Structure 1
Amino acid sequence: MKRQFLKAGMAGLLMTGILAQTAWAQSDPTGKRRVTETYAITNATIFASPGQQATKGSVLFRDGVILGIGANVQLPKEAQLIPGDSLYVYPGFIDGAGLTGITKPKDLERPKDFVSSAPSDEIAGITPWRSASDQFSISGNQVDDWRKAGFTISQVLPDGGMIPGKASIMVLGNDRSVNVLLENTALAANFKGSRGMYPATAVGVMAKFRDVYQNTTLALDHSKLYASTAGVSRPEMTPTQTGMAAVVQKQIPVIFTVESDLEARRAISLQKELGFKLILTGLENYETVVDLLKSTGVPVLIKLQVPDDKAIKSQKADSASVATKAQYDRVKEAYEKALAQASLLEKAGISFGFSTADTKPGDALKAVQAMIKNGLSEKAALAALTTNPAQILGISRVAGTIEKGKMANFVISTDSIFKESAQIKHVVADGYVFDYEIKKKTAKENGKSDNGAVKVDGVWEYTSETPAGSSGGEITITKEGDDYSGTISYDDPSGGGKISTPIKNVSLNGKTLTFEFEVNAGGNTLTVTISGEISGKEMDGTMSVAQFGSFPMSAKLTTPSLTF
């Protein structure tokens, strides 16, 4: 098996998008076992919908459509069986707003006669005519990683400026299929100002959004008048107005990505003033806007992530001063509030779905489990993954539950999906079966496993390979008490040989080592995550960059540390 990393400058390859051409996978995520005739998951524990009691039985499906479910389903002789003994079947997860498989279009060059106070809409990031389906690739940007995490449908948002374009709902199925479920399902918007031009501020964005919306309304009125009245001048709608028309006509909602309660209030204020349909996403703290959300009925897609607890674990209250202890308490309170946001919405009676934007696929279920530990019910958690986003996206007729006639989208796990011991063994998306490797869970006790102590400190030589070539370097890890630190070397993006940079967030759980490091390429900072399974002096794992996907890597411990 080939192992991968960085040739001619890892960061240079990443920045040119070469790595986005290939989605590497574990086990058999190719979907070659197409459901062309009849398949059945047999003798499994089935959770057909949130809150419904689990049943033991089979799920029969053909060509991507569910034919039957239950203990008494008659299985035809030609049915190919997927043994479900001791397995749990759930509806396929639905991402309400994500960037999976999305590539950002190139920025336009500013013309010589550019006027910063009156830029063209396209240069200012106002491109409502664009569609996310044109930026989407089923084989890129962590599509398989998200499918492995249980997601079978994603409403993907286009990347760009304050109005980057329209979202599309994609099925994360076979790479040889047409994976568009619905196009142009919502208009994406945010409060990011345009750099060095109007609108550069949040207030300017509000003014510009209002201007675009109202001008589109006038253009549509003019078009209606022209169609019914003689002697009216011919209307000329701009691409921006044509792209905004579906929003003005209330055919699709606006998904506003907001970063603060102030931005949430601004988005709701615009919605009240102009009358468009609204969905909010991106907010981290809902406590101050819960009553507003409840009174307005605005749907919410919350981030599928929780803050890490490193700041909490690093606290040493025994030797701290009174002032420091008070600061510790504030940090802990903020951390606990962040973990409880999902349960806060549930208690307020606000249904919500999840957004995978800015989230790592491997952390998704861990985040849900953390939310459950902090007050979210399992029923609400499953609803946020299935029925709620299906309703928000308007696809409940075909997705969200396991029912006869709906799409064959399933998550098949080794245990109850919200248990830490659960692993996803199969995912069925659009009737395509994807198999994933199941690894034996080992005890997480100070880096020890059933094979003895796992030793990571020392010098590791690693190799990895992108579609553009192979390369490698050294990972040096040192241990200080219970903490780890170190460095990693890689090819200089500018062509200056090897360079070294610190690694951070080093964690050893059982046999799994994870850490991050940053690469600067052309003024842009990329965060690279390495996760590897250690066996003796060898490590096999993946190297992931959020924008470009995951790539296999391997390493050998060539110079172990002498400390124990």
Structure 2
Amino acid sequence: MKKNLLHAGVFCLLVAGWLSSTVAFAQSDPSGKKRISDTYAITNATVFTAPGQAGIKATVLIKDGLIQGVGTNLSLPKEAKLIAGDSLYIYPGFIDGASDVGITKPKDPEKPDNFVSSNPSDEIAGITPWRSAVDQYSSKDSKVEDLRKVGFTIVQIMPDGGMIAGKAAIVLLGSDNSTNLLVENSGLVASFRGSRGMYPGTAVGVMAKFREVYDNTKLTTQRSQKYTTVAGLKRPEITPTYSAMEDVVAGKIPVLFSASSELEIRRAISLQKDKGFKLILTGLEEYEEVLDVIKASGAGVLVKLEIPDDKAIKAQKDDAKDEVKELNARVKESYDKALAQAGKLEAAGIPFAFTTAGVKSGDIMKAMRTMIANGLSEKAALAALTTNAATILEINKIAGSIEKGKIANLIMSTDSLFAEDSQIKHVMVDGFIFDYETKAKKKASKEGEGKGAVKIDGNWDYTSESPAGSGSGVLSIQKDGSNYTGTITYDDPSGSGKATAPISNVVLDGSALSFSFEVNANGMAITVDVAGQVDAGSFEGTMTVGEFGSFPFEGTLNPTLIANK
């Protein structure tokens, strides 16, 4: 005998007291600011644990912000909140290197009355290695949410400034209730940005000044060490600049050199060879002609996650004059080369990651898919967003893949990540879940008569799984003109026998079916949303019960009714 859904399923839990004991803190929180639970089990999802690994049907168990296990036979604790992952694709959360997200610009220092443009103070000249990105970062910046919405869970933030802006930090894009700080000092941020109207005002001047600061730091460090052990030595002049540069000279942290062009890349690598510091090249935009130089340097590589604007390409006309056509051909060739660069970086065997500095978050997935269409493999694309980024930023022990013991940073999408219609539905950061609205792949049709439409009218036997076990019931759907109506029967939560509720919002979009109904439990109206796919008289999807979670929902169209049609 089949168990009724409300007797052994989720509604039984509501009546038995689960509702009253959890309603105080189990409210839906799409912002992710409050954990509904510290323990989650995302069941029966398609999980991609790392780049190059095939997707597997598995459960991911999370507790206290850490991944506890990935597999099919996990022992789930009773307190685990179940999330039905049947229709979800799970990937490691993205990692952004050398980002400007959440960074506010510091106030420019005032020039003193005795200012000399040929010999300005370090701070005025843009040499501020003591500054920290943490002091300039605001998690409330709208860009933080925008970046998280497209899958980024960890960012390395750079302070704003001049040629030596300060120290980068690595933070989680997690709850506002946490500091989210992972690494406070992850690199020194430098660029070829000269100081207007003073020295160093040119890229060559910046290189000379960088060498001077580096050498003076090294010399001051050596003198300081001797000064404390040898009598009679002149006291070394220790400055904030030299103190802040010591970790770079000692090789403890890398220099994140912004180098967008081939010339800047060569200049940064020249400085690296000369002084021997660890180097990460960031913001690369033009690099195809120096791939061999980059590879030989051993530097970390952060490519700007952006593609050139194609407006000039789209504006080209077939009836243009010959000289215009020649110009257009050169523009098109340059454009195509830019799109193919990332693929050539992969072909050269150079591990790289991405930076979103200066990039609009809404353009990120388009840029990613365009790079893939122009030669970059999906494996390399995912590695650049996850494992490569973690390795370059030296956090690969705690992030970058879905493994036991790593931070619970996950992306849950509606399809394979780089598919054209794939959408990110949930992002988990540090064990906090952020929910995002997904849109129908195409305009919904209630008629069910469009291309690819399937039959749904009739009586369906359905089953559902919940923390209390399996349950079943009957769903009846009738066609009413261009719309659908129907009912669903279940055991009344009040214990007064059978109850019937009308279904509403019935939408058939190709093979995608969704509907809703309401159940009154102890005076509280609970909305139940069901959504899934119909295929040859079968239905597979999920049942979301108000604010209490989602559970597998399957149905079979009664064969007798099929025969009668």
The TM tier, using the shorter chain, reads: 0.7 to 0.9
SS at match of 2:104: coil
**Letter paired with 2:123:** E
- Separation in 1, partners of 2:204, 2:160: 21
- Separation in 1, partners of 2:198, 2:410: 47
Is contact 2:260–2:286 with CA below 8 Å preserved after alignment? no
Consecutive unaligned residues of structure 2, counting only runs of 5 or more, are 1-27, 444-449, 451-565
Partner in structure 2 of residue 71 of structure 1: 72
- Separation in 2, partners of 1:380, 1:419: 15
Is contact 2:65–2:432 with CA below 8 Å preserved after alignment? yes
Partner in structure 2 of residue 405 of structure 1: 405
Partner in structure 1 of residue 50 of structure 2: 49
SS at match of 2:32: strand
1:28-427 equivalences under 5 Å are 29-34=30-35, 36-317=37-318, 319-427=319-427
- Separation in 2, partners of 1:157, 1:217: 24
- Separation in 1, partners of 2:415, 2:224: 58
Partner in structure 2 of residue 429 of structure 1: 429
Using the TM superposition, give the Cα deviation of residue 36 of structure 1 relative to its aligned residue in structure 2, in angstroms. Answer: 4.6
- Separation in 1, partners of 2:155, 2:79: 32
**Letter paired with 1:166:** K
- Separation in 1, partners of 2:364, 2:62: 28
Q: 1:211 to 1:64 in 2, by over 3 A?
A: same
- What per-residue deviation string (whole Å, max 9, x for no partner) do you get for residues 179-214 of structure 1? 110011100000010011110000110111010000
Structure of higher CA gyration radius: 2
Is contact 2:66–2:405 with CA below 8 Å preserved after alignment? yes
**Letter paired with 2:431:** G
SS at match of 2:284: coil
Partner in structure 2 of residue 526 of structure 1: none
1:431-450 equivalences under 5 Å are 431-442=431-442
Is contact 1:199–1:208 with CA below 8 Å preserved after alignment? yes
SS at match of 1:142: helix
**Letter paired with 2:368:** V
- Separation in 2, partners of 1:78, 1:32: 20
**Letter paired with 2:236:** P
SS at match of 1:42: strand
Partner in structure 1 of residue 533 of structure 2: none
Using the TM superposition, give the Cα deviation of residue 253 of structure 1 relative to its aligned residue in structure 2, in angstroms. Answer: 0.3
Is contact 1:35–1:64 with CA below 8 Å preserved after alignment? no
1:390-539 equivalences under 5 Å are 390-442=390-442
- Separation in 2, partners of 1:29, 1:399: 23
- Separation in 2, partners of 1:208, 1:116: 14
Using the TM superposition, give the Cα deviation of residue 141 of structure 1 relative to its aligned residue in structure 2, in angstroms. Answer: 4.4
**Letter paired with 2:261:** S
- Separation in 1, partners of 2:97, 2:218: 28
Is contact 2:33–2:176 with CA below 8 Å preserved after alignment? no
How high is the sequence identity, in percent, across the aligned residues?
Answer: 63
Using the TM superposition, give the Cα deviation of residue 65 of structure 1 relative to its aligned residue in structure 2, in angstroms. Answer: 0.5
- Separation in 2, partners of 1:242, 1:185: 16
- Separation in 1, partners of 2:166, 2:83: 41
- Separation in 2, partners of 1:239, 1:146: 34
- Separation in 1, partners of 2:52, 2:325: 42
Using the TM superposition, give the Cα deviation of residue 30 of structure 1 relative to its aligned residue in structure 2, in angstroms. Answer: 2.0
Partner in structure 2 of residue 560 of structure 1: none
- Separation in 2, partners of 1:306, 1:37: 40
- Separation in 2, partners of 1:32, 1:188: 31
**Letter paired with 2:262:** D
Q: 1:333 to 1:258 in 2, by over 3 A?
A: same
Partner in structure 2 of residue 454 of structure 1: none
**Letter paired with 1:371:** M
Tell me whether 233-242 or 365-374 shows the greater mean CA deviation. Answer: 233-242
SS at match of 2:328: helix
SS at match of 1:164: strand
SS at match of 1:31: coil
Is contact 2:33–2:177 with CA below 8 Å preserved after alignment? no
- What per-residue deviation string (whole Å, max 9, x for no partner) do you get for residues 241-294 of structure 1? 011110000000000001321111111001100111101012212111101011
Where relative contact order (Cα < 8 A, 6+ residues apart) is larger, the structure is: 1
- Separation in 1, partners of 2:332, 2:424: 32
Runs of 4+ in 1 over 3 A off after TM superposition: none
Is contact 2:99–2:158 with CA below 8 Å preserved after alignment? yes
SS at match of 1:282: strand
**Letter paired with 2:434:** F
**Letter paired with 1:231:** G
Using the TM superposition, give the Cα deviation of residue 130 of structure 1 relative to its aligned residue in structure 2, in angstroms. Answer: 0.5
SS at match of 1:333: helix
The alignment's TM-score, normalised by the length of structure 1, stands at 0.73
- Separation in 2, partners of 1:324, 1:207: 43
Is contact 1:101–1:143 with CA below 8 Å preserved after alignment? yes
Using the TM superposition, give the Cα deviation of residue 231 of structure 1 relative to its aligned residue in structure 2, in angstroms. Answer: 2.8
- Separation in 1, partners of 2:370, 2:34: 34
Tell me whether 266-275 or 302-311 shows the greater mean CA deviation. Answer: 302-311
- Separation in 1, partners of 2:181, 2:422: 30
Q: 1:95 to 1:167 in 2, by over 3 A?
A: same
Partner in structure 1 of residue 490 of structure 2: none
**Letter paired with 1:302:** V
Q: 1:29 to 1:156 in 2, by over 3 A?
A: farther
Using the TM superposition, give the Cα deviation of residue 312 of structure 1 relative to its aligned residue in structure 2, in angstroms. Answer: 1.3
Using the TM superposition, give the Cα deviation of residue 33 of structure 1 relative to its aligned residue in structure 2, in angstroms. Answer: 4.2
- Separation in 1, partners of 2:227, 2:276: 24
**Letter paired with 1:435:** D
Using the TM superposition, give the Cα deviation of residue 308 of structure 1 relative to its aligned residue in structure 2, in angstroms. Answer: 2.4
- Separation in 2, partners of 1:367, 1:60: 32
- Separation in 2, partners of 1:391, 1:301: 12
